[in-house]
């Protein structure tokens, strides 16, 4: 699903964030990436998700070489192949929960008209039902708890049935119990839909659920299973 070769990313010459990094993630795998703050975890997700194109090396995701895609194709790739879940949820406060979830369908381009809109809303309600929030579809994000907002973000990420879910510290703003619920939800989604999940996290629950735990250290991914054990402890 994901193949990174010699990927480097630097925002200034003195301090490269990623340094010739290699990564392979199989389809349906749940990979947790840990590392201290500023290690480049978010940058790694941005590169994989086609949000950051300023890297060197080769990035292939879902059979597509991202360097070869122009803005339109890269946007379509993000829309159809990737679901993003952010630490800060990044929901649009002026929209209802359902409108937030349905947003990606706006950019899918295929369907137009009232029929397409209705169909997208039905999918949004189904996605909300999948994360246990069917009854909150007409609420604004501001009235939801942190855990509920993150569930809405996950529902939004699932709407387009993307095969890859990129989660940037999804439990970072949540308490331990709620974080565990969200981690369980991610695991459930992976099992039910067979999506590949890459999560950057400090959360031990997520690390325990992950197939592999990688640590981003000095711009490189190191220590897989062994480090997972350390983190879990």
Partner 1 sequence: MSLRPALRLARLELRRGWRRLAAAGIGIVLAVASLVFLFSLGLGLRATLLGEVFPLDRLEVAKEASSLDLLGVRLPLGGDTLDPAVIEQLRQIPGVRRVYPKMKLTVPAVASGGGWLFGSALQTELVVDGIDPDLVADEVGPAFRMPTTGVGVACHRDRDCGDDAYCALTGPASLTGSCRPYIPVLVSHHLLELYNGSLRRAYHLPQLDPDRIIGASVDLTVGASMLRADPRRGVARERVRLVGFSDRAIPFGLTLPIDVVRELNVRFGSARAADAYHSAIVELFSSKDARQVIAAAEGLQLVVSDRGARRAAGLLALVMAIVAAVGAALLGVAATSVAHAFFLTVDGRRREIAVLRAIGATRGDIRGMVVAEAVAIGVAAGAAGVAIAVAGAVVVDRLAARWVSGLPYQPDSLFLIEPWLIVGGLAIAVVAAVLGALPAVRRSAGRDPASTLSGW
Residue with tokens 């630490």: 87
When the beta carbons of 108 and 220 are compared against partner 1, the nearer one is 108
Q: Which stretch binds partner 1 (CB under 8 A): 58-66, 101-109, 184-192, 201-209?
A: 101-109
Binding-site member from 10, 103, 134, 227 for partner 1 (CB under 8 A)? 103
- 142 makes contact with partner 1 (CB under 8 A): no
At 151, is the secondary structure helix, strand, or coil?
Answer: helix
- 150 makes contact with partner 1 (CB under 8 A): no
> Which tokens is 153 given?
């973000």
- Whether the Cβ atoms of residue 191 and residue 197 lie closer than 8 Å to each other: no
Contacts of 183 by beta carbon, 8 Å cutoff, 6+ apart: 170, 171, 203, 205, 206, 209
CA distance 217 to 19: 10
Name the strand (E) or helix (H) holding 125.
helix 113-130
DSSP 145: -
Binding-site member from 65, 92, 222, 232 for partner 1 (CB under 8 A)? 92
- 75 makes contact with partner 1 (CB under 8 A): yes
When the beta carbons of 75 and 178 are compared against partner 1, the nearer one is 75
Cβ at position 22, least distance to partner 1 in Å: 21
Q: Which residues bind partner 1 (CB under 8 A)?
A: 11, 42-43, 46, 49, 51-52, 71-72, 75-76, 78-80, 84, 86, 90, 92, 94-95, 99, 103-104, 106-109, 112, 156, 160
């Amino acid at each position: 699903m994901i193949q990174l070769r010699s990927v480097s990313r630097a925002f200034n010459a003195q301090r490269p964030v990623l340094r010739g990094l290699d990564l392979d993630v199989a389809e349906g795998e749940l990979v947790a990436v840990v590392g201290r703050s500023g290690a480049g975890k978010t940058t790694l997700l941005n590169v994989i998700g086609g949000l950051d194109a300023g890297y060197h090396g080769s990035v292939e995701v879902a059979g597509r070489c991202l360097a070869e895609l122009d803005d339109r194709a890269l946007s379509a790739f993000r829309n159809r192949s990737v679901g993003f879940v952010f630490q800060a949820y990044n929901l649009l406060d002026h929209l209802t929960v359902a409108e937030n979830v349905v947003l990606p369908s706006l950019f899918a381009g295929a369907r137009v008209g009232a029929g397409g809109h209705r169909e997208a809303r039905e999918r949004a309600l189904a996605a909300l039902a999948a994360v246990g929030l069917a009854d909150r579809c007409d609420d604004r994000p501001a009235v939801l708890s942190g855990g509920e907002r993150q569930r809405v973000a996950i529902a939004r990420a699932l709407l387009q049935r993307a095969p890859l879910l990129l989660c940037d510290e999804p439990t970072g703003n949540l308490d331990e119990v709620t974080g565990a619920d969200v981690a369980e939800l991610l695991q459930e989604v992976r099992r039910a839909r067979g999506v590949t999940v890459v999560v950057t996290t400090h959360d031990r629950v997520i690390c325990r659920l992950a197939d592999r735990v990688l640590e981003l250290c000095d711009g490189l991914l190191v220590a897989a299973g062994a480090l997972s054990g350390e983190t879990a402890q």
